[in-house]
Structure 1
Amino acid sequence: MTEPPARIDVHEHAIPPAYRQFLADRGLDSGGWPVPAWDRDSAVAMMDAQGIATGVLSVSAPGVHFGDDAEARALAREVNEYVAEAVKDRPDRFGLFASIPLPDVDGAVAEAAYALDELHADGVVLMANAHGRYLGDPAFEPLWAELDARGAVVFVHPAELQMPMIPGIPAPVVDFTFDTTRTAVHMALNGVMSRHTRMKVILSHAGGFLPYVAHRVAVAASLAQPERHTVDGVLTDLKRFSFDTALSGSPTALPSLLAFAEPGHVLYGSDWPFAPAEAGAYFNGHLDGYEGWRPGELDAVGRGNAEVLFPRLARA
């Protein structure tokens, strides 16, 4: 008898029709990466094939804010309500990370409250930079206070850097990992993670290269600003993050990630449909075949750790 899908995918994307049309009308893509086809049925088919019970859906880069606050608020509301309907129809298969229109702080706070209270979103998604402003920006403090007060789950997804792409190399190939690392360090060194300990923050793609450079960051920060930072203090704040395995379940990334992440802080991610099925199969094979798992750890990454963050998805 075939076992039912078990994984909870915290890095799965939705592309609502209105959002696709919005991007197409403006000639936009995801950092030089084409916007793929998506619909609910194809999402469920992919999930069945890859052993995923539930995908927590989010809108990927470039996000919902393109310079006009009113337009961004309307677009965020439209995509959030669309995905919320998918969750309402299939709560067992889908979840919602609601889009938030940063750098419009007032709009971001209002949409977070609406999505969490009225749409019953499972959390929110933030782009790692909002038009070049990283998430440790002091101006974003009202949003962090709101999310922390609610104990919200925050999914941080990279976006295109505010600098030219390397010719011929789309941003998802390498720049996205830098963007995630940069915003995580910015959040930690500016005190976001130490001030707001009730919220849970998931970093995409194993945190970029944060696990690999975390000790360098901690030592260098303590040398640059000894009046503000200690090695242990910086490491403590960096270890507050959780990490997904999207495009990162590899023989070289997993040892660094698992050596750094706190127990319970690694979660399964696919990055579908921007990462096609063959990419998912490649990384799932390495994830399942990795020989360094401790007893029960692979199952925890696949499901158990996410059940702690999303109690409604917990199985009896």
Structure 2
Amino acid sequence: MRVITVEEHFHHPEVGPRVMDLSGPPPIDLDADFSTFWRNFTPDRELAEQLAGGRLEHMDAAGINIQVLSHGAMTPGSLDHPDATGLCRQVNDWLAEQISQYPTRFRGFATVPLYDPKAAADEMRRCIDELGFVGTLTQGTFAGLFLDDPRFEPVLAAAEELNSPLYVHPGIPPASVLRAYYSGNWPASVEFLLSSPAFGWHAEAGIHILRLILSGALDRHPGLKLLSGHWGEMVAGWLDRLDEAIGWGHYLDRPVSDYYRTQVWITPSGMYSHNQLKFFLAEVGADRIIHSEDFPYVVRTNVADFLLNADIADHEREAIAHRNAEALLRISPL
């Protein structure tokens, strides 16, 4: 069985530290133990910064044929600084050169500077048309704004024009949200985790998709295709409630679930629960699920086996493993 995974990350060895320098102080008040926690939380540098070596060995062992790569933590795409445009270009050129060394094993998602939406749209076109990338990934909000804000209209229009999906990935919530919702009588490490991979940034990423639906962005761009990780960032399991509640206001031309089931694809992001797989198969269908691991933040030995051992039909297994990714991302089938 061919396996393509689509939420797989890398770190640019120079750009990440530069983004950290330009981003200013962290939004969390760090305590004495946070540096020890952060060292343990950070992924192995070799796995994050190199495509050869340990990453390829892991792919072979876990049964992954192709990873679709995107910049992970400290991405210049979310940097609120004029240097973001050049840093994104540097990331994309580096990734394209790395992929050229292993063209049968990797594809790329563009990193685009939301600081300058026109430049972001231009960089998206360059990455798709010239570098051969298969989509674009954005992380979280930008300066507290979601992609439904009118300033980002060039980004949405370019993605639709290129017939190239946007992966709406989580990001660290703004400091004001972090303080109001996730700070409390617990260590800084717990505050960080609660606000991000444990819960917070998943809720925000789900809200991000909902805002694109409620703002009319998917009506203005009916060809826009969105990817949402972690089993749809809570929204994919809430569609009936959204249809009922939003429907009370007679606000949209169609139910929320209709937009979702026609323009959004979800991925597991390494959350390999057979209960969740069966549930979301029933909610959105096999043609709207694409496999992912979330490497190197999540490292699973059972990437292929999770699907091989699932109690699902063979056509569903093949669709999730590779056929949906091939169709959506225009990756040539074998």
Asked if Structure 1 and Structure 2 have the same fold, meaning a TM-score greater than 0.5 normalized by the shorter chain, the answer is yes
Q: 1:238 aligns with which of 257, 260, 266?
A: 260
Task: Give the match for residue 210 of structure 1.
Answer: 235
Q: How does 1:123-138 map to 2 (within 5 A)?
A: 123-138=135-150
Deviates more, 1:42-51 or 1:247-256: 247-256
Instruction: Give, in whole Å, the separation in 2 of the partners of 1:205 and 1:30.
Output: 24
| Amino acid in structure 1 at the alignment position of 2:2 | A
Partner of 1:289: 309
- Distance in 1, Cα, partners of 2:212 & 2:329: 23
Alignment of 1:1-316 (within 5 A): 6-23=2-19, 25=21, 34-37=42-45, 38=48, 39-41=50-52, 42-64=54-76, 65-68=78-81, 70-162=82-174, 163-164=177-178, 165-166=182-183, 167=186, 168-169=190-191, 170=193, 171-223=196-248, 225-226=249-250, 228-229=251-252, 232-239=254-261, 240-275=263-298, 277=299, 280-281=300-301, 286-291=306-311, 293-315=312-334
Q: 1:283 to 1:115 in 2, by over 3 A?
A: closer
CA contact (8 A) 2:64 2:304 kept: no
Q: Which runs of 5+ in 2 are unaligned?
A: 29-37
SS at match of 1:121: coil
Q: Deviation string for 1:190-227 (max 9, x for gaps)?
A: 1222332323211111111111111212222222x32x
Please list every run of 5 or more consecutive structure 1 residues that lacks an aligned counterpart in the other structure.
none
Identity across the alignment (%) = 24
When normalised by structure 2's length, the TM-score is: 0.83
Q: Displacement, 1:283?
A: 6.6
TM-score (norm 1): 0.87
Whole-angstrom distance in 1 between the partners of 2:159 and 2:238: 28
Contact 1:206–1:243 (8 Å) recurs in 2:
yes
Q: 1:61 to 1:186 in 2, by over 3 A?
A: farther
Distance (Å, rounded) in 2 between the aligned partners of 1:30 and 1:89: 38
CA distance in 2, matches of 1:302, 1:29: 38
The separation in 2 between residues aligned to 1:92 and 1:311, in whole angstroms, is: 14
Rounded Cα–Cα distance in structure 1 between residues aligned with 2:280 and 2:25: 33
Distance 1:189 1:84 in 2: 35
3-state secondary structure, aligned to 1:252:
helix
Q: Answer yes or no: is the 8 Å Cα contact 1:96–1:123 preserved in 2.
A: yes
SS class of match (2:69): strand
Q: How large is the Cα RMSD of the aligned pairs? A: 2.4
Cα deviation for residue 173 of structure 1 reads: 1.7
Contact 2:138 2:168 in 1 (8 A): yes
Tell me by how many angstroms 1:7 deviates: 0.8
Which of the pair is proportionally richer in helix?
Answer: 2
Q: Per-residue displacement from partner, 1:51-86 (whole Å, max 9, x unpaired)?
A: 111111001244313221x21101111111110111
Higher relative contact order (CA 8 A, sep 6+): 2
Whole-Å Cα distance in 2 between the matches of residues 36 and 28 of structure 1?
Answer: 24
Q: Could you say if the C-alpha distance between residues 28 and 122 of structure 1 is closer, same or farther in structure 2, counting changes exceeding 3 Å?
A: farther
Against the structure 1 CA distance between its residues 287 and 295, is the aligned structure 2 distance closer, same or farther, given a 3 Å change threshold?
closer
For 1:267, what is the secondary structure of its paired residue? coil
Which residue identity does 2:148 align to in structure 1?
A: G
| 1:233 partner amino acid | P
